[in-house]
Structure 1
Amino acid sequence: MAVEGKDRSKALEAGAQMLSGQLGKTVQRLRKAYNLSLSELAEQSGVAKSIISQIERNETNPTLATIWRLSQALDISIDRVLSSADDEPFIQKSSRADTPILVSDDGKMRLAIIGWIKTVEWLQWYDVQAEPGAVLDSDSHQRGSVECLSVLEGEFEVEVGGVVQQARTGESLRYRCDRPHTVRCIGDAPGRAVMVCILKAAVMD
């Protein structure tokens, strides 16, 4: 289950709250380098002038969707927009309250986004907690994408293209997620797992 469609939007919006205060300075520096006024950048990006102003003053936590539109208007990769001003070693800590949560349509499976927001375009990972009978349906992701579900507690099954495989505590399932796929928590006990999705994998065996 990579962050795609509706779930991707939720993840990006929640995860954007973890962006550093360097973002505002970076956007302002790039805007001035292109000799753009706030109004001109707003027109080119589709982001409201007031929002851009708040971003530059670090008065708001923009969504990644907003940052993406700004990066396109400024003709720079989103990774560079999000990068810090230096390469100093760092340690980041996220509290439980800061960790975005996705919930399956049936409300029985919760995925805490424990991956780094900067890698969301190519690598995503989650702490999965599920009630018995929980079902998570996901649309297909980019061709070549691979997902890995490592079961910590309980029992899960994954269905891809009509093929079903089960895994218990200590076991892992790896599968193509570039087609519709479903993860279920089976049995009578709650389940817990770590899910990792590698987008646009270079090699598929």
Structure 2
Amino acid sequence: MAGRGRAEIESGASFVSGQLGKTVQRLRKAYNLSLSELAEQSGVAKSIISQIERNETNPTLATIWRLSQALDVSIERVLASADEEPFVEKLARRDTPYIVSDDGKMRLSIIGWIKTVEWLQWYDVAAEPGGTLESEGHQRGSLECLSVLSGEAEVTVAGVVEHAKAGETLRYRCDRPHLIRAVGKTPLHATMVCIMKAAVME
């Protein structure tokens, strides 16, 4: 997660498509592969593949990517096959998981899909003036984009300090220690997207 929140994620959501397991099983059988053989070729544990096929687990995108490589199909095809039925999902405010900064003045609501948190994190950021979020570096090559909706933000990365006001966006490498601070006299409201590049490429 971005930041070293003193509070754990308050709630979560699990999204398991009824079609994903069927798609993986159909492709595996089309290649005449056993669970053990697919596990060996993909690097995904046999037990996990079995659970995916039975729709008993919620695989990360990185796991689906490994399976798609082993099955010689694009990840887009796997995901498209899993989402044949259109859907709209609504998450109530009280059910939206969030993180609070160590100083208690900054709150990051996790508005992105929990299922993709290993490679893509999307937050709604609200902070009182002076609120600070200090983060350790993420995986090598990761990138963060902070778009300010109101107030003013200050970002420090490797000793470099930059500011952004409403309507401005800061993009920066987040694979090293970095800090976000709400500066000025008004609260900060922003959206932040963190792309965990290494999680997709590994």
Give the alignment's TM-score, normalised by structure 1: 0.65
For the 8 Å contact 1:147–1:196, the answer to whether it is kept is: yes
Q: Distance in 2 between matches of 1:196 and 1:166?
A: 17
SS of the residue 1:35 aligns to: coil
For the 8 Å contact 1:148–1:172, the answer to whether it is kept is: no
AA matched with 2:131: G
Q: Distance in 1 between matches of 2:84 and 2:158?
A: 44
Structure 1 unaligned blocks of 5 or more: 201-205
Q: Counterpart in 2 of 1:31?
A: 28
Q: Distance in 2 between matches of 1:87 and 1:61?
A: 18
Q: Distance in 2 between matches of 1:122 and 1:51?
A: 19
Q: Identity over the aligned pairs, expressed in percent?
A: 63
Alignment map for 1:108-123 (pairs within 5 Å): 108=104, 109-115=106-112
Q: Distance in 2 between matches of 1:101 and 1:31?
A: 38
Q: Distance in 2 between matches of 1:63 and 1:119?
A: 6
Alignment of 1:62 onto 2:43: no
Give the alignment's TM-score, normalised by structure 2: 0.65
SS of the residue 1:177 aligns to: strand
AA matched with 2:146: C
Aligned counterpart in structure 2 of residue 134 of structure 1, from 132, 135, 138: 132
Alignment of 1:185 onto 2:158: no
Structure 2 unaligned blocks of 5 or more: 198-202
Q: Counterpart in 2 of 1:41?
A: 38
- CA-atom RMSD, angstroms? 4.1
What is the aligned residue count? 187
SS of the residue 1:93 aligns to: coil
Q: Distance in 1 between matches of 2:34 and 2:127?
A: 49
Q: Counterpart in 2 of 1:150?
A: 148
Shift of 1:54: 1.7
Shift of 1:27: 0.9
Q: Counterpart in 1 of 2:72?
A: 75
